[in-house]
């Protein structure tokens, strides 16, 4: 099925001059860029973009534990990380784009790689170009710099494309 999905190159990707390299990897995978803009995010957009629910906080906390962090309260850990994530996304310009193609949502996730650059597969963007790790970042009380946001499923993709590109 042809799908559309949202990708955001986070401030570390822009700062490190990786926009071209990142876009090339998606294009080489057969994805088409159908919308693209460079922009500065703000608190209101970020709060709508990242779910502020216990369920989401818990999933973030579990990723810290999977990375080797000694966490007992997943929800509290996740809440703290999401708050630093919202700041990280505002720390510089980002590049937002809509990518389209056959099974674009899972394909983009595959090309992007796992959340933690330390364990992201080689050949993926985060695995090859990521320099930070969840363990280091979270133990310093901050979100991991992993270059990309990519919609996780159809529901996220639909809501996120509307949120980021709804008016154009
Ligand atoms: O981005 P992705 O969908 O792979 O991961 P997520 O679980 O939706 O988390 C959103 C973002 O939070 C990640 O991309 C990381 O930047 C950050 N994160 C983190 O810093 N520490 C964690 N333990 C989990 C996520
Ligand atoms: Mg996600």
Strand 148-150 with 32-39, pairing: unpaired
Atom of ligand 1 nearest to the CA of 69: 23
Task: Give CA torsion, residues 59, 87, 91, 95, to 10 deg.
Answer: 50
- The domain that holds 40 is classified in CATH as 3.30.70.141
In whole numbers, what is the pLDDT of the chain averaged over residues?
97
**pLDDT score, position 139:** 87
Name the percent of the chain lying above pLDDT 90: 98
Burial class of residue 145, CB neighbours in 10 A (0-12, 13-18, 19+): buried
Give how many domains the chain has, as a whole number.
Answer: 1
- Alpha carbon distance, N-terminus to C-terminus of the chain: 24
pLDDT tens-place string over residues 62-118 = 999 999 999 999 999 999 999 999 999 999 999 999 999 999 999 999 999 999 999
Tell me how far the alpha carbon of residue 161 lies from the centroid of ligand 1, in angstroms.
Answer: 19
Distances in whole angstroms, Cα of residue 104 to Cα of each of 71, 115, 147, 149: 34, 18, 19, 14
Residue 168 has pLDDT above 60, yes or no: no
């Amino acid at each position: 099925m042809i799908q559309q999905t949202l990708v955001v190159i986070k401030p570390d990707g822009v700062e490190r001059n990786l926009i071209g390299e990142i876009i090339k990897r998606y294009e080489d995978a057969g994805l088409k860029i159908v919308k693209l803009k460079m922009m500065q995010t703000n608190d209101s957009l970020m709060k709508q973009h990242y779910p502020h629910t216990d369920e989401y906080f818990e999933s973030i906390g579990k990723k810290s534990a999977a990375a080797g962090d000694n966490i007992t309260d997943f929800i509290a850990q996740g809440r703290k990380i999401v708050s630093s994530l919202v700041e990280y996304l505002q720390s510089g310009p980002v590049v937002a784009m809509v990518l389209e193609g056959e099974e674009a949502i899972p394909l983009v996730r595959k090309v992007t790689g796992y959340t933690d650059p330390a364990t992201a597969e080689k050949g993926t963007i985060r695995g090859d170009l990521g320099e930070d790790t969840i363990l280091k970042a979270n133990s310093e009380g901050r979100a991991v710099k992993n270059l990309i946001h990519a919609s996780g499923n159809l529901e996220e993709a639909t809501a996120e494309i509307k949120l980021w590109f709804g008016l154009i």
